[in-house]
Structure 1
Amino acid sequence: MNDVIFTLFGDGRNLDPLQMGLRAVIVFVITLVLIRISGRRSFGQRSPFDLVVVILLGATLSRAIVGASPFLATIAAAFVIVVCHRLLAWACVHSHGLERLVGGGEREVFSNGKFNDDEMNAALITATDIRESVRQKTGACSFDNVAAAILERNGEVSVIRKKQPG
């Protein structure tokens, strides 16, 4: 049985294309399971907190495919990353302070017809970035119908339109 496993999956860095391909299939299935365990948050919201998991899982699991690290130890490390993310996300749900520390906060970068230089400098965002978002969200070059622009925690700029009279 060990000979069959070794022949199919190889060992170490000396893998042939078939062995690497089989490892890729197994890692693909395991990654799907880990994503389901991690929850939609990791791959839906894309906040910096969530991107850490995506990057770490990719970097860790790729080592299992190419044989750079022991297969089972690599899968265990990926599982620990997902569990840590899940536990920290749970803690953030129950602690506003921790959520703010881990996830950051939104920044109002434009309001009342003016750019907020302090918020823009803190977020390293320019007026050009905000103008681009306004054009994309409103379909207009003008700020005439814009009440506010808010840099969200995920890096996207939300554009709040002015209320229309009537």
Structure 2
Amino acid sequence: MMDAIYLLFGQGRELDPLQMSARAVVVFVITLLLIRISGRRSFGKRSPFDSVVVILLGATLGRAIVGASPFVPTVLASLMIVVCHRLLAWACMRSHALERLVGGVEREVYSNGAFNEREMNAALMTPADVRESVRQTMGSRSLDNVAAAILERNGEVSVIRKEQ
């Protein structure tokens, strides 16, 4: 049985194209399972906290495909990344301070016809960045109909229209 597994998946870095392809299929299925465990949040519009999972899973599982690291320990390390993400997300649900530390805060960068320089400096944003978001969101070059622009925790800018 073990001989058949070694024949199909190879061992170490000496993999032929068929073995690497077989590993890719298995890693694909494992990744789908890990994504299901991690939850939709990790792969939607994500915060830096959620992006860490995406980056680490890609880097770690890629090593399993090409044989740069042992297969089973690499998959287990990937599982631990997902478990850590879930545990930290659970802890953030119960601690507002931890949520702010891990997920960040939203910043109101424009309101009442004025840019908030303090918030823009903290977010490393310029007025041009806000205007771009207004053009993309409202299809307007003018800020006249904008009540507020808020840099959300996921990096997107929400533009709130003035009430008519």
TM over 0.5: yes
Return the alpha-carbon distance in structure 2 between the equivalents of residues 45 and 36 of structure 1.
16
Q: Secondary structure at the match of 2:11?
A: coil
Misfit runs of 4+, over 4 Å: none
What is the CA distance between 1:24 and its match in structure 2? 0.3
State the identity %: 77
Q: Which runs of 5+ in 1 are unaligned?
A: none
Return the alpha-carbon distance in structure 1 between the equivalents of residues 124 and 58 of structure 2.
27
- Aligned partner of 1:78 in structure 2 is 78
Q: Secondary structure at the match of 1:150?
A: strand
String of CA shifts for 1:40-80, please: whole Å, max 9, x gaps: 11111310000000000000000000000000000000000
Alignment length (residue pairs): 164
Matches of residues 48-87 of structure 1 in structure 2 within 5 Å?
48-87=48-87
Look up the equivalent residue of 1:124 and give its one-letter code: L
- Aligned partner of 2:158 in structure 1 is 158
- TM-score normalised according to structure 1 size: 0.97
Return the alpha-carbon distance in structure 2 between the equivalents of residues 94 and 40 of structure 1.
19
Q: Does 2:147 align with 1:147?
A: yes
Q: Which runs of 5+ in 2 are unaligned?
A: none
Q: Secondary structure at the match of 1:155?
A: coil
RMSD: 0.6
Return the alpha-carbon distance in structure 1 between the equivalents of residues 111 and 75 of structure 2.
48
- Aligned partner of 1:93 in structure 2 is 93
Return the alpha-carbon distance in structure 1 between the equivalents of residues 153 and 89 of structure 2.
15
Look up the equivalent residue of 2:111 and give its one-letter code: S
Q: Does 2:122 align with 1:122?
A: yes
Return the alpha-carbon distance in structure 2 between the equivalents of residues 2 and 17 of structure 1.
20
- TM-score normalised according to structure 2 size: 0.99
Return the alpha-carbon distance in structure 2 between the equivalents of residues 29 and 158 of structure 1.
36
Look up the equivalent residue of 2:94 and give its one-letter code: H
Return the alpha-carbon distance in structure 2 between the equivalents of residues 125 and 72 of structure 1.
44
Return the alpha-carbon distance in structure 2 between the equivalents of residues 24 and 127 of structure 1.
45
Q: Secondary structure at the match of 2:110?
A: strand
